[in-house]
Structure 1
Amino acid sequence: MPLTDTAIRKFKPEAKRYRKTDSAGLIIEVMPNGNKVWRYRFQFGGKATIYTIGDYPAISLAKARQLRDEAKALVAQGINPKEHKETIQAVKQAELAEQKVIAERITFTGLFELWHEHNAQGWTYDYAKDIRERIESHLLPLIGHMPAEDIKPKDIIHALKLIEAKGIMETMKRSKQYASRIFRYGVGMGHCEVDPVRDLPTDICLKQEKDNFSHITERGQLYQLLNALDSYTGDVSTATALKLAPHVFLRPNELAGLRWDEIDLDKNLISISAERMKMKRPHMVPLSKQAKALIESMQIFQEQSAFVFPSPRTPARPINGQSLNAGLHRIGFKGKQTAHGFRHTASTLLNELGFNSDHIEKQLAHEQANQIRGVYNKAEYLPERSKMMQAWSNHLDALKSGGEIIPINRNGANAG
């Protein structure tokens, strides 16, 4: 008679194991310890074979019959259900082992954190933070989730090309350097086999233009530069022009030759005629509160000269643009920062901080060949640029103070 759940529950253990038959080869064995095990007896290859289905009551009578039928179907196909089960279990174990290996492999983000923690104690706070911000902004969003050992040169090239497309070449160069250092650390610690940056060809990305516009973008060096500008002891025109240079993005000659009739302190605006601009288009510079205060400090000379920064030799002429570079040399930044380089510093960091590239380019008075609309409109994006310039001056003040930097709001919300 086929078994029932009621009968199975009443089976008591004996000194030796015993079997009770259900139907179609399904049996249940009662062990001396009280365990009850389902098995399926069948003929395979001319030999009596037993296939263990599992324990009761974890596997009910109905489930045992279903599994027996599945095993019986395998036998009919010439497949030994016992071997089939072992194969499935082996595959599952292999999959679990592979999943465990994958889970234990360190991602690029994890490797970066280990590398940064390992080295941060030997770095200044500003340098450590500068590296973190660059990596978090430009590399982790693209390759941070990938296991470090799976990252190929093509993945690095893709990330560098995206940085290159933003026009921030210094950031691209540094990102490549930092990535290589992180991977070399990973190789040394056994987290990956190779540094995928090592063998990248040198000509995969645009080279940084070779010019005389040296500029600083690292936080700690900017702190030193901005404070050195405040302590400059040369003539007041050069000193004030140097302090203003980081805030207004003007070329050295445009800044040095600034005229009072180009200044509107009521509207907080500089308006330079096309004749004085390199691109021969009129240009407007919104004045932040900081920039306005510097210009106002030169009003004591307004009756003597038409120029905001009169030459110390004669008020009839402005200071020379080269005097700004000479001043930077005197305070120890020769070869590190030029007056023109302040434009590059602003462009690099504002792009990194996420400001609209069109607003940045317009404020730099760059020709935008791919944007015909508004080429001759000197006031284009003026409200947005005004917010950006105030936010930038606030950012410079925070850098100069050496305090904690509050991220600039991309829409200029901090431009109060």
Structure 2
Amino acid sequence: MPRLATPLTESQVRALEPRATRYCVADGNGLVIEVMTTGSKIWRFRYTLNGKRQPLATIGDYRMISLRVARAKAQKYAALVAQGISPVATARRDRGAESKADVLREAAELYLATALAGKSDEYRRTTRRALDKDVLPAIGNKPIAAVSADDIVAICERIKRRGSPKMALHTRNVVKRLYAYLIARQLATSNPAQIVPARSIATFDSRTRVLSGAEIGVTLHTIDTSNIRRPLKLALHLLVLTMARKSDLVDAKWAEFDLERARWTIPAARLNAREQARADRVVHLSRQALALLRELQRDRASDNYLFPSVRGDDRPIAKSTLNQAVKALGLDVEHFVLHDFRRTAATHLRESAQQAQALDTTHSEAAAEAETEATAEAARQHHLLQSWADLVDSQIEAARHAARGAA
């Protein structure tokens, strides 16, 4: 019987480094990976036949064969051994078939099985859909090195003729990520999709990008169920609920918040150049935003900043931290940046028949001449932010329900 071993993970296999002499690491059930002094990694099958330990049977190069596929082959060879049959001839035939891994279709399967293993179900689904629907039918049987920028352009043009420029750009990006993976795995030397400029496929005015209700729900549900640090999850959620600029939230201090009155007052000195001529900006806080802030307050690591740097010095996280956190999630939300949350909120409120004037003053104290008008304006602004928070909650719940249904 093969010796029991702790199963490997793809990340552990990728992390194996060469040594002065080659060595093997067991995955279990006879499967081992041999790391050569050159850095190459070869899957092998260890077995005993007729009571004698046999030489290792070669399964194939790790660059060509994912952990999942290697396990399946080891299981097949173990079944042969159980019948008293040597798996060597079968393994040799399999290795001949593996030469097909130099075609894009096989490489794409390797990419889906390994690089996307830690991504969300939705991300894997949309990636596979783009490959299966448009990429692989057109160029799946081409050798990896033979795929050209002209091939990518032709695929994108066909998608655009269907009236789907966003999907064309998404498909180009899928191929670009696939080839970046193949280059890292030394299966390709150039990236044909990278040569094709995004603007040649589809152009979008980033100042008009608005997320749909479903995209809002999927985005926040993905953030909430990810493994990024909890304070960053809360920061991203607060960006949505408060309609604040990223820089305003990142630099926010506890002294600016009055949770009893549900108000966040951003000093005029912290506003951008266009707004510094105005008074302090007052953000009215919804029930949901207050709940997130109270959680932050309970567990706060700084008496000064809401989101202090993890380095321990008294300063906030870097401006790029939230962008990096979102990028690491691999969200399948096309042409999206964090600033789009503000525009999205304003658009959805407008579609809910809220007054345009109130939308324009959501972030600031109305310059009302009479105290009663100022009070009424504050009430309207608070109502707007609460309506928005309730809408966001409903979209998150819909995304959560859809995820449970797909599980």
**Computing the radius of gyration over CA atoms, which structure comes out larger, 1 or 2?**
1
Same fold (TM over 0.5): no
Higher helix share: 2
TM-score (norm 2): 0.43
TM-score (norm 1): 0.42
